[in-house]
Structure 1
Amino acid sequence: MSHPEGLRANSSQFTLEGRPFRILGGSIHYFRVPRPYWRDRLLKMKACGLNTLTTYVPWNLHEPERGVFNFQDQLDLKAYISLASEMGLWVILRPGPYICAEWDLGGLPSWLLQDEDMQLRTTYPGFVNAVNFYFDRLISVVKPLMFEEGGPIIAVQVENEYGSYAKDEGYMPFIKNCLQSRGVNELLLTSDNWEGLRCGGTEGVLRTINLQRLSFGAIQHLADMQPQKPLMVMEYWCGWFDVWGGHHHVFHAEDMLAVVSEILERGVSINLYMFHGGTNFGFMNGAMDFGTYKPQVTSYDYDAPLSEAGDCTTKYQLLRNLFSQYHSEPLPEVPPPQETRAYEPVFMQQHLSLWDSLQFTDKPYRSERPVNMERLPVNNNNGQSYGYTLYETTITSGGTLNSRNNIRDRALVFVDRQCVGCLDYKTHEVTLPDAKGARTLGLLVENCGRVNYGKTLNEQRKGIVGDIVLNQTPLRGFTIFCLDLKPNFMKRLTNSSQWKTDFKSPSVPAFVQTRLCVDGPPKDTFIKLPGWGKGVVFVNGQNLGRYWFIGPQHFLYLPGPWLRSGENQIIVFEEQRVDAKILFAENPDHGKTVDVYKLPFCTLL
């Protein structure tokens, strides 16, 4: 008995099961959407007229420590792909190992950087071995979901945008072999922007293109490279991401629709990146560095057709009308929007200073010289991946403290626990006050997000990465505390009997705690923190992500399923200034906007 044929690219049009097929795709990342909302988002995708889901797979979440894998709960990739199949959606899997995705280190686990000689995205043996071990596990999860096994996966991407990196001629053939040698027989694709197309391909693998504007003859360029092959825009950027201190990027619906319409009129397949962006929960946002380091914000709204909270936007309605023309049957009904609620403000009830919380961290590490996060002997010797690290040493004078640009990425400077300044990529010097006798110098260093795109991936070690000097003399004799704010630490912190209730002058940095009482079924809401400075919010133990008064983002999305009827615990870690209350809103405030279409592309990067 012969099995139906999967996706094929043997002529100028795709075929699936032997019949002509047009990919009308959209990207939704399961790791950016609370699992209880997967169904809602995929139903809305189907109702918009799309037939294919694409998703990246983040290695750093699935293998957080070397050899320790997690494919459960929020990371249940098998359940997500199976749900897409249940909705009648095909799936294009983009397993990396590098995914970019505006995600910390482009999805690569930080423990790779323990090797000082590591060369990421190359055939360097340390990287090859780690990829092989990871793919052994990953492919065993997704193999039963391939088309030939009766599953929805019709294509698999080989790495991601390697043409923009292109450091090793043997690398793409290696990744291709990683897939095929483990029994992946579906159509293989690569994905590159216009400039990376020539270098990013590999033999026997279909090239696709990433773009936002139909300029430089991009589609024709792809057609010329692959005569008599189907054309596909793997990432049609229908919005853009934001960085702290910038503006919220918008791409007007009419401008987007004009390009999508033309792509479809030309008979080209398309995947909307992002169809629904979601959220960089926790510490998972990436960063960009093209001469200036810029960390990305917590929201991954992306000005996508579905908003961060899953609402249908004007873009969604326009695209639904457009895609309906490519279906012979009426599209399914659009699911109703999620209800949102502006809860009453809550007032801070308890606080605990950073210094009082240190007893709940793992045993501090003592070292003569500073040690970067990834090399700390924590997390079963996998190093520290995310969060904050406190470096303390003794000084006997004031004067000029110079970071020599060895702070990654931002450090609050303390003398005897009083803040005296901040060091980052732009500020390398702080003046320390004079005083007699020995004092404690503290440097609270935050990993603000590892760069996810470009040539600097091997330089993304965090914490203090070299000498810090006081009056030209390198500091020595450090005590180093790991503050990655993981669940076990937060649990110990919560159960402490040392929380203080006097709110006249809470010292910062501090953990601040309150309760939100929810009457009736919980609804989505948006946390607003006017009057606060910079920090992280936890609700019922879930890390919602970072906030920072510099914007553009002035809210944190709090999904209803992460709340419960009755009492909910909120803990804020605030670095600089505490306010007495937290506000809630029904709608987000993205801050000042800038139109992507009116910017030269290079300014986006």
Structure 2
Amino acid sequence: MTSHTFEIGAEDFLLDGQPHRVISGALHYFRIHPDQWRDRIRMGRMMGLNTIETYVAWNEHAPTRGEFDTTGRLDLARFLREVQEEGMHAIVRPGPYICAEFDGGGFPAWLLRDPAVGVRTLEPRYMAAVSEYLRQVMEIVAPLQIDQGGPVIMLQVENEYGAYGSDHAYLRALTDLFLETGATVPLTTVDQPMDDMLAAGNIPGLHATGSFGSRATERLAALRRQQPTGPLMCSEFWCGWFDHWGAHHHTTDPAVSARELDDLLAAGASVNIYMLHGGTNFGLTNGANDKGVWQPTITSYDYDAPLDEAGRPTEKFWAFREVIARYAPVPEYDRVDRALFVVPEPASLRSVGALGDLVAPDWQDHADVPTMDTLGISRGLARYRVQLDQGPAAGVLAFAEVRDRAWVSLDGQPVGVLAREDHAWSITLPRGEGLLELLVEDQGRVNYGPRIGEPKGLIGPATFAGVSIAGWNASAVPLDAFESGSSLQLAPQEAPLTAGAHVFEATVALEAPADLALSTDGWGKGLVWVNGFCLGRYWRSGPQRTLFVPAPVTRAGENLVTVLEFDSLGTDTVRFVPDLDLGHTEY
């Protein structure tokens, strides 16, 4: 492969010594099925982009310390090679903190289980882990830099650090680590273009870029005040926004977004459109925010981007393509558009059994109520039980906090739900004796702000009628059985319906693999797998009413759909619809 140079010039980026404008779009490889990467990359090229940008999610690659998974949807090298094979450059943003509305902002849960570990600081244990991580990332990325014949033209250090802190020694240590591990392309930072944030989040040797979605002239002027020379770049041009459960689907007017992009390019700046294609928070990977109100992010990361969740061009795609064509060559559009989804026949859901009967717990004994992190759970569900012996009188069960949702039962009978979004940490029990059980769902780790790294699960002390409760059993709920792609049905006949978390299955016939839009109308709250692939969460609180099923997880013939419902299903069928439905909107 031919090597090239990419440098920071006095006013421009320089590709092989010549001025070059970066016109980029964001794709997160971990939010897209790997067999659909090429399609999304090529669609970016069709819009007129010359570069693809991605974050690297530390927690996905290293769910346990010492592990670094690069298989399947985590094959970063394959993703970058596919970018290059499409004739495009790449920008890589390894963090270590990425935000991205992703679980924990990309931090692995194990990193912060010791409360003494600092976050985004020079704290030694944190920096030791970061060093391990960046060395593993750079083993992949360094050989793929442009001066070694690869596509990578820039690497970002940290992420909007000026909105968090101002420790320049920390930024210098990270920069030195990038250089030590083989970085030869320009190193950048990104911050919102406010003087204080730009000053706090940058040091000499790093090229500052901005993150914004409007008022380009004003924001670029702020960037120039802090950085008198070098190319101007908005490396997060926000063309949409993310959604959280219980709210509306965010959209931006395509014409307004296109005008903002035009202003940005007319000023001579480079750009990275965030997002070109958002993709999906498959599995349990969504993040959450808590600034006094608990707001977990939905499964779809559509972001109202130029390519929708299924990779199809939207009105915004065509508007952006028209703008880009004024400033750079745009290839002839040669793609076959996919307007509607295949809609297989509805399939009957059969009752497989109660979650507790199908997935055996590995009970651990604890004197006091443990957190999920104490149990070693990074994501998912935990079961808790304790024998109450405080008599027949009713009383209040209370915790210091519940993170994030707990279904409460007594002697197998549901009592109610403790929900973080309602600040509900207590519930009245009809009596103080019997087997108290709770199923707790982690709805996504906080990805932004001071609550990053907080433990999940039940937060003690736990009391009944003001008296501490001791003698707990607790267990993770292993979800591996759902990932086998095989039926969990233990008997030929349907299992009787039970109150509480319950598993259902359906068999869906397809003539050939196809993208699908699975309707969740009439369902309560839970998770869905197709042939063992977890599509993610659904919730009647909306706004999202469909789940995207990528074609590569389906097959010709029978397809197994598994539903884990925490509340109740109001329908006994699995239905598919002609298009995605992300809910009501507000402008």
TM-score normalised by the shorter chain: which range applies?
over 0.9
Instruction: Name the structure 2 match of 1:388.
Output: 381
The residue matched to 1:170 in structure 2 has which SS? helix
- How much does 1:474 deviate? 1.7
Map 1:83-482 → 2, pairs under 5 A: 83-166=82-165, 168-195=167-194, 196-214=197-215, 217-328=218-329, 330-337=331-338, 340-359=341-360, 361=361, 363-376=362-375, 383-396=376-389, 397=391, 398-425=393-420, 426-434=423-431, 438-458=433-453, 460-482=454-476
- Contact 1:400–1:429 under 8 Å retained in 2: no
- How much does 1:527 deviate? 0.9
- Contact 1:136–1:182 under 8 Å retained in 2: yes
Choose 567-576 or 215-224, whichever is displaced more: 215-224
Cα 1:5–1:370 shift into 2, 3 Å: same
- How much does 1:499 deviate? 7.5
Cα 1:484–1:465 shift into 2, 3 Å: farther
Distance 1:338 1:79 in 2: 29
- How much does 1:215 deviate? 6.8
- Contact 1:158–1:189 under 8 Å retained in 2: yes
Choose 238-247 or 332-341, whichever is displaced more: 332-341
The residue matched to 1:374 in structure 2 has which SS? coil
- How much does 1:329 deviate? 6.5
Distance 1:495 1:132 in 2: 42
- Contact 2:487–2:560 under 8 Å retained in 1: no
Amino acid in structure 2 at the alignment position of 1:393: V
Instruction: Name the structure 1 match of 2:525.
Output: 534
The TM-score, its normalising length taken from structure 2, stands at: 0.95
Map 1:517-532 → 2, pairs under 5 A: 517-518=509-510, 520-532=511-523
- How much does 1:355 deviate? 2.3
Instruction: Name the structure 2 match of 1:561.
Output: 552
- How much does 1:47 deviate? 0.7
Matching of residue 62 in structure 1 with residue 61 in structure 2? yes
Distance 1:332 1:7 in 2: 28
Q: Deviations over 1:466-489 (max 9, x none)?
A: 21211011211111120152x356
Q: Deviations over 1:152-209 (max 9, x none)?
A: 1010000111111116342211111111011111100001112422211122100000
User: In structure 1, which of residues 564, 571, 593 is the aligned counterpart of residue 585 of structure 2?
Assistant: 593
- How much does 1:491 deviate? 4.1
Q: Deviations over 1:293-343 (max 9, x none)?
A: 110000000000000001100000111112122234644523433762111
Cα 1:456–1:541 shift into 2, 3 Å: same
Amino acid in structure 2 at the alignment position of 1:255: V
- How much does 1:546 deviate? 0.3
Distance 1:446 1:440 in 2: 20
Choose 149-158 or 398-407, whichever is displaced more: 398-407
Unaligned runs of 5+ in 2: none
Amino acid in structure 1 at the alignment position of 2:463: V
Cα 1:15–1:499 shift into 2, 3 Å: farther
Cα 1:403–1:231 shift into 2, 3 Å: farther
The residue matched to 1:573 in structure 2 has which SS? strand
Cα RMSD between the aligned structures? 1.9
- How much does 1:7 deviate? 2.1
- Contact 1:305–1:314 under 8 Å retained in 2: yes
Matching of residue 14 in structure 1 with residue 7 in structure 2? no
- How much does 1:403 deviate? 3.4
The residue matched to 1:54 in structure 2 has which SS? strand
Amino acid in structure 2 at the alignment position of 1:385: S
Choose 411-420 or 75-84, whichever is displaced more: 411-420
Cα 1:328–1:430 shift into 2, 3 Å: closer
Distance 2:185 2:495 in 1: 63
Distance 1:43 1:162 in 2: 32
Cα 1:131–1:312 shift into 2, 3 Å: same
Amino acid in structure 2 at the alignment position of 1:76: D
- How much does 1:144 deviate? 1.0
Distance 2:468 2:507 in 1: 45
Choose 581-590 or 46-55, whichever is displaced more: 581-590
Aligned length: 579
The TM-score, its normalising length taken from structure 1, stands at: 0.92
Distance 2:556 2:147 in 1: 45
Amino acid in structure 2 at the alignment position of 1:427: A
The residue matched to 1:317 in structure 2 has which SS? helix
- How much does 1:358 deviate? 3.9
- Contact 1:406–1:468 under 8 Å retained in 2: no
Amino acid in structure 1 at the alignment position of 2:378: S
Cα 1:125–1:50 shift into 2, 3 Å: same
Q: Deviations over 1:479-518 (max 9, x none)?
A: 1120152x35654984562575156x44331111121111
Distance 1:535 1:206 in 2: 44
Instruction: Name the structure 2 match of 1:584.
Output: 576
Distance 2:179 2:22 in 1: 23
Instruction: Name the structure 2 match of 1:53.
Output: 52
Q: Deviations over 1:524-575 (max 9, x none)?
A: 1111122221000011111100000010001110111111111111111101
Distance 1:543 1:295 in 2: 18
- How much does 1:148 deviate? 1.3
- How much does 1:402 deviate? 4.1
- Contact 1:279–1:301 under 8 Å retained in 2: yes
